[in-house]
Structure formats: structure tokens, C-alpha cells
Amino acid sequence: MALPLENIRVLDLTRAAAGPFATMILGDLGADVVKVEPTPKGDMTRLWGPYDHGIGIYYLSINRNKRCLGIDFRNSDGLATLQRLAAEADVVVENFKPGTAEEMGLGYETVKATNPRVIYGSISGLGRTGPYGTWPGLDQIAQGMSGMMSLTGQPGGEPTRYGVPIGDFTAGMWCALAITAAVAQRHVTGEGQRVETSLLSALVGLLSVQGQRYLSNGDVPGQTGNDHPTIYPYGIFEAQDGPLNVATAREEHWQRLCAVIGLEKLIDDPDFASNDTRMRNKDALRDILNARFRTRNAIDWTKDLMEGGVPSGPVYSLDKVFNDPQVIDQAMVERVEHPTIGALDLLANPMKMDAFEGRSVRTPPPLVGQHNRAVLTEYGFSAAEIESLATSGAIGEEDAAGRL
């Protein structure tokens, strides 16, 4: 079965995190993603530690299912090569600081003039326009400016960032979704278009119910720690061997919880008879529940609670995550052969599609310039032109020992 984006050619001018995450998704869906990296060092994330055989783990985590073209961006022949590729690509994706692509002759209007069917995806830090449009914006900054950090952490504590760069990855997902939708629309209209998002917009868009509380009622929610802001009990409790998540999203969940843990008397207790009273008396209820949960291990409670119809689960560290039988069953790790590392385990795409035929990771993250000659040939460059580009230093490639 063909992959959804098979035969869609993507010129990937992105670097760091948000853009590569977007193009990785497109690659997972079958697009031919050509990641352009500046020679001699390649994408900056290759140098971000920790490392696996000298390659930044950050890079390895977000660049599967791509080919790589190594270009000297300072070389006029290198830039001319990129402009020629952009004129032929179905999709161009960039996450430069606003204005940089235009300076390189690779802005949307310039590319559109020679390639009117192009779908041009842009990711910026804070937005391409507006009073902050020229400001650089990294994930940490966007988490703060979006309000996300004000909602995260323990009550009364300092604003807290997520454990992963959620602004980068969310912006990447939104961009990939928009590009995929634009590809579908082009099949109908024959027209390309510009699609864009920013780390800031992506996170503001995730504010969801917390954002709507402000828009509807003027509420300014604060940090709630690990508790749900409006439902209780819904959060982390203390099992014998570590933390336990319990989520009574509905009233029947609360009643089932009381039955499973042998505290049916709480159902009719006026202090806990409704969600409103449980929220008012959550500290006292937490103490009662923790005293019971501390008598058994988290996974034992989980099995009984889930069988009893109460959503629950242990809180794992990553070593336990990747050894959990359910995670293993969901095939969230796939192994590929990397040209310098050898056998390399990578996270898989969490989407399950018949078209994947059981495997979403088809190729490992590439070496710098690994596919120079193949890519340029496919885009119509002659052998003589390719040799000239190599001789002038406009293109470069890394050997198996990591040397250009």
C-alpha cells in the first residue's frame, strides 16, 4: 500500500527542533523529505549533547525518514542550487528568523513566482508579523509568553517549564497538519498556498479549557500542581512503591473508586458527596485516600481500579516506560541500521495506519550530505553540474568517519 504523501517532494530548510519535527512527520507519512544542512557542521542539533557515537541525540530524535543535502549557505552556487530545488519542490518548509529566507532569495513570494503550486510552510518563534515579529523566540520563551508556565508547577511555586520542548513540537505538529491539508486542497484546486504557525500561537492554542475560563469568565487560573483544576479526586496519590494516578472524571468513577478501595462510606459523607464538596475538602480527602493507597503497590492498585472501571495508572520513569508491556505492544520503538552508529533504536510515529504496514521508521537520521548526488540527479542536475558544485565547495558530504 502506498504511503499517504508518497511522491510529494519536500525541501526542508529547517533546523533545530520545531521545523525538523514537522518535516519528520511528513517523512513518516511518505513524503520525500530532503533536509538541507549547512556545511561543514550540519544542523546545530548534531552538536547538542548528550551524544550517541558523537552525534547529538537531539538530532537523532527528530530526523528519521529524511535524506540530507549538504550545502554551503555562504556560497553563491549553493544558494542558487537551493533556489533551483525550491522551484521544483511540492513543499518548502523553513523556520528561519522572519526575513532571513527573503534575504536568501527563498522567501514565499520569490519561490511562488517560479513555482505557483508550491506549499510553503513557515514556523517562527512568536509570529511573522506583529510588534514582536522580528524577535527571536525559543521554546522556553514561548512557554513563558503563552501562559503555559504560569499553569504548570506546584501551587505557590515558581512557573515551571514542561519536561520536553512542547512549544517546538506542538508548532511542528500544527505545521505538518496544515501542510498535509494544503496538499489535499491542492489536489482539488491545483493551487499552492502559504501555511504558517509559531511556537507562541501553538501553545496559546493549547490553553484549551484554561484559556476559555479567562475568555468566558475572566478567571486567571494558576498552578494546580498534579491536581485537576476543577475535579477531585483527579491527580497523583501515594502508593506503597511510588506515585499513582487516579482520575475520577465522572461521578460514577468516584463511586466505583470508593467501592474498589473499600471506602464505600465516603459516598454518602456530606463532605465528599459531590464534586463541589470534594473540591472544598480535597486536603482531608487526599489524606484519607493516601492512607489507603499506601497499603499496596501502584501497579496492583492500577489493575484493581481499572477492572473496577476507575481510570488509573502508575507514574513511570523512562526506564519503566520502555519496559512496560503495553508500550512494547504498541511498538513505540523501532530499530534501524545507521551508517556510523550501527543498530539504532528510535521512537516510532504514534499514529497507526494500514499504509505503514507495521513500520513507521524506514530510514535512520542521515549523515551530512549523505544523499547529495542522488537528490541533485533527481532534481535534474547533470553529472557535470554536480561535480562542479562539489569542486567549488557549494556541496559537501560527511564520510563514515564523520569527516567532510
215-238 residue pLDDT tens = 999 999 999 899 998 999 999 999
Query: Rounded CA gap, 372 and 189, in Å?
Result: 33
Which part of the chain has CATH 3.30.1540.10? 234-316
Query: Choosing from 168, 268, 283, 345, which is the catalytic residue?
Result: 168
328-342 residue pLDDT tens = 999 999 999 999 999
The topology under which CATH files domain 9-206+332-392 is Rossmann fold (3.40.50)
Which part of the chain has CATH 3.40.50.10540? 9-206+332-392
Query: Rounded CA gap, 2 and 29, in Å?
Result: 10
User: What superfamily does domain 234-316 belong to in CATH?
Assistant: formyl-coa transferase, domain 3 (3.30.1540.10)
pLDDT tens, N- to C-terminus, the chain (404 residues): 999 999 999 999 999 999 999 999 999 999 999 999 999 999 999 999 999 999 999 999 999 999 999 999 999 999 999 999 999 999 999 999 999 999 999 999 999 999 999 999 999 999 999 999 999 889 999 999 999 999 999 999 999 999 999 999 999 999 999 999 999 999 999 999 999 999 999 999 999 999 999 999 999 999 989 999 899 999 999 999 999 999 999 999 999 999 999 999 999 999 999 999 999 999 999 999 999 999 999 999 999 999 999 999 999 999 999 999 999 999 999 999 999 999 999 999 999 999 999 999 999 999 999 999 999 999 999 999 999 999 999 999 986 555 55
Q: Are 394 and 71 spatial neighbours (Cβ–Cβ below 8 Å)?
A: yes
Q: Which residues, 6+ apart, have CB-to-CB distance to 311 below 8 Å?
A: 246, 247, 248, 249, 253, 305
168 is known as an active-site residue: yes
Q: Are 258 and 264 spatial neighbours (Cβ–Cβ below 8 Å)?
A: yes
